[in-house]
């Protein structure tokens, strides 16, 4: 079934560390050989062996309208004939920035970068430069990319691989990175009290997507906002996953919470390598060349990525019903899975919000990284492979969110539910 994928993985291991260019792709968390994809269309992935899968990864979020969305593909093809990179400003960069500012609350200015990692790294540097402070508070299991500061108590691939301390991250960097359990306001209050006037920023995934899909408890985000206002700390929302996916204005719009800085990822490039950070004018004007906090990038605002993102975001702006339809599809999938797991006598939790969700085999609510780590992740491994064999591609880790796309049909959802029913019968 995976003959070509197995051969390619063996070949890749000779020239690529671990055989993959991003660790979670290696299937270390679930075992087995990673599947090498050849092409994708709509809600489906097709591997090198010709197998088709219903896709619940969506390139880790940005394919909200489905793979190879025709208007985006056509726009990319047209702009690629102009040049794939200028290294100079373009009108399109201005238009994308204006579009983002018009859609997202509480931001005046946007700086384009090349990835979510770079966006979060730059936002943190800006927060330190703006406040004159060095320390930052992050949350256990939240993943903000692989910059040194963010690999302390990180989620996603670090959690998947069970890496507790990352070689190469210096003690000084680790000392400036304070970590608290997600959804635990008293722990944040204690860190602030222990480090008065030293904390530049609190950075958080407003909905955690890198230890499963974990929602903020009532009052958590509001409490963080209040603490930041009280102590002169900048509040950074990492919306690399939630931005433009949970609502046109992201989590800020959905929860009605104001961030000082917000970061975005590949959805603003229609799935191409891109990121951005944004915020109030008084903060953003500290970035060079307007200010002294330096950040630069030759490929920032890449024209091909910009037209792909502009085309996708404009569609989301003009068709708000997409979000209602996505939520309805997710709700049906969640209901079907709950019915399936319940009938099988399996203890489970299904977390979901909008078009994000995750499955945890546990008898208690999954509200933080400790809870996610204590679930029956061995059962998840068997469930993952049983679903893969039945043509459903899930994130290859219990510590990742699932994503639902608009191209998914009701037939696809029912197929997934039936596949889960069959999978449960096979692995019990």
Catalytic residues: 143, 238, 266
Helices of type H across 52-145? 70-80, 91-103, 116-131
Dihedrals phi, psi of 156, to nearest 5 degrees: 55, -130
Helices (H) and strands (E) in the chain, counts: 15, 14
User: Nearest-CA neighbor of 138 among 187, 233, 202?
Assistant: 202
Residue 184, C-beta contacts closer than 8 angstroms, at least 6 positions apart: 368
Dihedrals phi, psi of 93, to nearest 5 degrees: -60, -40
Helix (H) or strand (E) holding 52: strand 52-55
Q: Degrees (nearest 5) of the Cα angle 386, 326, 339?
A: 45
Q: Is-contact 403 326, C-beta < 8 A? A: no
d(CA 56, CA 195): 42
Count of alpha carbons within 13 Å of 296, Cβ hemisphere only? Answer: 9
Distances (CA, A) of 138 to 135, 151, 205, 234, 304: 10, 10, 9, 12, 33
Residue 334, C-beta contacts closer than 8 angstroms, at least 6 positions apart: 350, 352, 357
d(CA 92, CA 310): 8
Tokens 């005046």 identify what position?
108
Pairing status of strand 177-180 against strand 135-139: parallel
Residue 324, C-beta contacts closer than 8 angstroms, at least 6 positions apart: none
Distances (CA, A) of 352 to 175, 213, 403: 34, 7, 10
The b/e string for 264-280 (b: 16+ C-beta within 10 A; e otherwise) is bbbbbbbbbbbbbbbbb
The 8-class DSSP code of residue 25 comes to G
Bridge partners (DSSP) listed for residue 12: none
């Amino acid at each position: 079934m995976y003959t070509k994928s197995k051969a390619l993985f063996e070949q890749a291991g000779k020239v690529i560390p671990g055989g993959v260019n991003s660790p979670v792709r290696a299937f270390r968390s679930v075992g087995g050989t990673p599947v090498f994809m050849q092409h994708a269309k709509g809600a489906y992935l097709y591997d090198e062996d010709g197998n088709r899968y219903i896709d619940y990864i969506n390139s880790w979020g940005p394919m909200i309208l489905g793979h190879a969305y025709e208007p985006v593909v056509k726009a990319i093809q047209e702009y690629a004939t102009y040049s794939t990179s200028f290294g100079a400003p373009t009108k399109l960069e201005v238009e994308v920035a204006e579009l983002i500012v018009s859609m997202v609350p509480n931001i005046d200015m946007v700086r384009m970068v090349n990835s979510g990692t770079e966006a979060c790294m730059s936002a943190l540097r800006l927060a330190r430069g703006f406040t004159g402070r060095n320390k930052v508070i992050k949350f256990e299991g939240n993943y903000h990319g692989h910059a040194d500061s963010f690999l302390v108590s990180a989620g996603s691939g670090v959690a998947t691989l069970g890496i507790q301390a990352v070689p190469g991250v210096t003690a000084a960097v680790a000392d400036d990175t304070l970590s608290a359990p997600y959804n635990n306001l008293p722990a944040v209050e204690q860190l602030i009290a222990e480090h008065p006037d030293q904390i530049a920023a609190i950075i958080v995934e407003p909905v955690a997507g890198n230890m499963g899909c974990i929602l903020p408890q009532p009052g958590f985000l509001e409490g963080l906002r209040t603490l930041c206002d009280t102590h002169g700390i900048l509040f950074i929302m990492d919306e690399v996953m939630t931005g433009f996916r949970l609502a046109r204005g992201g989590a800020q719009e959905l929860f009605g919470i104001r961030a000082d800085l917000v970061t975005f990822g590949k959805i603003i490039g229609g799935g191409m390598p891109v990121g951005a950070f944004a915020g109030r004018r008084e903060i953003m004007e500290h970035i060079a060349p307007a200010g002294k906090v330096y950040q630069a990038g030759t490929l920032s605002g890449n024209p091909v990525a910009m037209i792909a993102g502009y085309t996708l975001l404009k569609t989301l702006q003009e068709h708000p019903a997409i979000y209602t339809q996505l939520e309805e599809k997710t709700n049906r999938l969640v209901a079907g899975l709950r019915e399936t797991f319940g009938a099988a006598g399996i203890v489970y939790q299904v977390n979901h919000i909008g078009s994000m969700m995750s499955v945890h085999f546990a008898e208690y609510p999954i509200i933080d990284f400790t809870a996610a780590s204590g679930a029956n992740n061995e059962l998840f491994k068997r469930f993952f492979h049983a679903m893969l064999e039945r043509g459903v591609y899930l994130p290859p880790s219990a510590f990742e969110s699932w994503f639902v796309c608009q191209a998914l049909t009701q037939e696809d959802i029912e197929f997934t539910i039936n596949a889960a029913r069959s999978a449960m019968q096979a692995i019990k």
